[in-house]
Chains A and B, each alone.
Chain A
Amino acid sequence: MQFTFLLEQVVNGLVLGGYYLLIALGLSLIFSVGGVVNLAHGAFFALGAYVSVEITKYLGFGSAVVLSPIAVAMLGILFERYILRRFYTADPILSLLVTFGLAMVAEQAIRIIWGAPPLSAAIPPALRGSVFLGDFLFSRYRLLILAVVAAVLVGVWLLLHKTSFGRVVRAGIQRPDMVAALGIRLQPYMTVIVMLGVGMAALAGAFFAPITIVQPAMGADIITVAFVVVVIGGLGSFWGVVIAALLVGVVRGITIHFEPAAGEASMYVLMFVVLLVRPRGLLGERIEKFE
């Protein structure tokens, strides 16, 4: 019984990890290709949630989870074109400062537009409740999120590994100088990567609005977790981020099972241990420009 219950916590942790993954994958991609730690990534997550709550009022939940990430991804294009682009080759401190500042501006902007009190959002009645798979209990809604995450994951993997676009991006992560020598400009690729990254963050926001509180600081709360996942997974590695996100979710679930008070600290302990053993992260590759 005890073992089954523990297993249930593990599986539940995997689902939660999937949610972290949506945010962390974009953060990791932007960092790997552009060399910019996008501290404003959480702001796009929050925007995704707010925009989806607005759209839900008029067009319903189904349209909201599709349209909101698209709208936010468009904003991502502007963000890349007019702000991020200036900092690829600059001192990393500058891009940290500018994205950190932007995160604060975005949070205040949300406060001005929508107000400080949280917005109310709910799951459509049809998606409520839990289902039993064998002896395990799952929230029906979270299973849907898991399916969406899996689909996105497959899509991104195919894009990076089976298309010429992906080949350039992967080469750009490793040897931007060689890519340049071949006469390929990385900037248009970066625009797409940022669009994709913030779009995924907004997708996470849209799906989590009904089951978490929609408030201005929600972006600031999630960016720390996403950053920890990226660090644990290691830079430049697709599967590193995937494994790290799932691991963080599972370790949290197991910790809460045995020692609830340590639940929220568990991911930092995990990061500490991983960095001690593998300073580059679980599957982090040796990337020359970051050494």
Chain B
Amino acid sequence: MTSYSRRTLLKTGAAFAGASALGFPAIVRAQATRIKIGHLVPLTGFLGAIGSYAQLGVKLAAAEINQSGGIIGKQIDLMSEDSVNPATASTKAQRMIEQDGAVVLLGEISSASSLTIMQVAERNKKVFFSTGARSDALRGKNCNRYSFHCDIPNTVMVNAVGTALNQKGMVKGKKFFTLTADYIFGHDLLKAAKTFFDANGATLAGDELIATDVTDFSPYLLKVRQAKPDVVCCNLAGNQVTNLVKQYAEFGFPYPLVGFNLNTGDAWAAGEGNLSGTWPTVWYHTLDNPASKAFVAAFTKKYDKPPENHAWIDYITLKLLAQAINEIKSTESEALIAHFEKQTEFDIMKARKGYFRSWDHQLVQEAYPFTVKPKNEMKDKWDMLVLGDAVPVPTEPLEKIYPTKTQNPCEMKA
């Protein structure tokens, strides 16, 4: 028995070695004519649903770029994989750079996984676009010069919703109860929320940190009722937002539910009549501008459903990256960083153009608060949000809603 299995093991090992020996020249040859780009995003777990939209978005961008002749005359070879968790994300990022020859990485939604990929990028001196992670700390104390941040940070989401809530008189003198995701993203969001409450005369009646694998919120909802707050505030992420929204509607509490984080994919999954309140978003498929409409049409044609905000952000990131490489005719990290640090402006399918801020590499752009559309006004099941006015208002500089250098200092190591 033992000798048999050992022989099998040896055979298998030999087969693997042989296969990689044969496969190797093919990979090397491919590099000359193709540009390899690595894309990592959670496809399983509590962020898997929105991650799958991100993958559809980036694939559409790659297909369109290749169809129009590629980048500097070369076709894109997009490797898109499930990042699973922070440890796997880091291993896969390293493998994509080292073995597969990726010249640049993009993707991610989880702030914890994004942080580990940022470290891989820095170690290997390759540029990484963190497309969907929102923790302020990634732009602040964890920042590095190889990492760029495309989604709006937590502070902006708090400011977007906070401004809307303030206008409705739901902040000053009110007691908030927060339910917060227990990982770097949530901790960070809670910090931003507390800063906002302090600055606007609201108090915190209670706060619960919730592990990311919780699916039943009933014990926490009992605690909410015990605290009798004026407003309940959701600082969760991914599937957990949907679960909380559903169960909150189930219990039917009188306290309004608002939230500082929501992706439209989670809103679509909430179910009829379950979602209410005011939430933030970075983009929505009903935005009225030509670029956005063209993207929504192309996406809907290919996938038979409209794009979610993570599909949008991964799509525009690959597009603006391709545009940058075409302009500087190089995929070298230093050249790319220098180009983006010039604060070059990009059309990102919004009223105002966006740019990466030079000192923290944040894509500075508009954000929107939204409320939920009454059912009889919905054109289809995807058309469930009413976008509020973009923040900041057109007369104010975009950076007004972003953390300042003193609020979220970033020291890029060379």
Contact = CB atoms under 8 A, between A and B. Distances in A.
Interface of A: 5, 8-9, 12-13, 15-16, 115-123, 125, 128-130, 137, 139, 141-142, 210-215, 217, 221, 252-253, 256-257, 260-261, 263-264
A111 to B, nearest CB: 9
Interface in B1-57: 43-45, 48-50, 52-53
Contact of B250 (A141, A261, A263): A141
A129 B268 contact: no
Interface in B38-82: 43-45, 48-50, 52-53
B78 to A, nearest CB: 18
Interface string B217-232: 0111011011000000
Nearest to B273: A122
Contacts of A122: 246, 249, 270-274
Given A139-B250, A260-B210, A261-B209, A120 B381 contact: yes
B354 to A, nearest CB: 26
A8 B218 CA distance: 11
A263 B226 contact: no
Nearest to A222: B215
Interface of B: 43-45, 48-50, 52-53, 182, 208-211, 213-216, 218-220, 222-223, 225-226, 239, 242-243, 246-247, 249-253, 265, 268-274, 305, 308, 381
B251 A130 contact: yes
A260 B208 contact: yes
Contact of A139 (B45, B211, B218): B218
B218 A263 contact: no
Contacts, number: 118
Contacts of B52: 115-117
Contacts of A12: 218-219, 222
Contacts of A128: 249-250, 252
Nearest to A12: B218
Given A5-B226, A122-B273, 19 more contacts: A5-B222, A13-B219, A15-B218, A16-B216, A117-B50, A117-B52, A120-B268, A120-B269, A120-B270, A139-B250, A142-B250, A211-B250, A212-B216, A212-B246, A213-B246, A215-B49, A217-B44, A261-B182, A261-B209
A121 B246 CA distance: 9
A139 B219 CA distance: 12
Nearest to A11: B222
A211 B274 CA distance: 10
A129 B215 contact: no
B246 A117 contact: no
B82 to A, nearest CB: 11
Contact of B243 (A129, A142, A212, A260): A212
Contacts of A260: 208-210, 220
A252 to B, nearest CB: 7
B269 A119 contact: yes
Given A125-B273, A261-B182, A264-B214, A137 B225 contact: yes
A214 B247 CA distance: 13
Contacts of B211: 261, 263-264
B219 A118 contact: no
Contact of B268 (A5, A117, A210): A117
B252 A257 contact: no
Nearest to B242: A213
Nearest to A118: B269
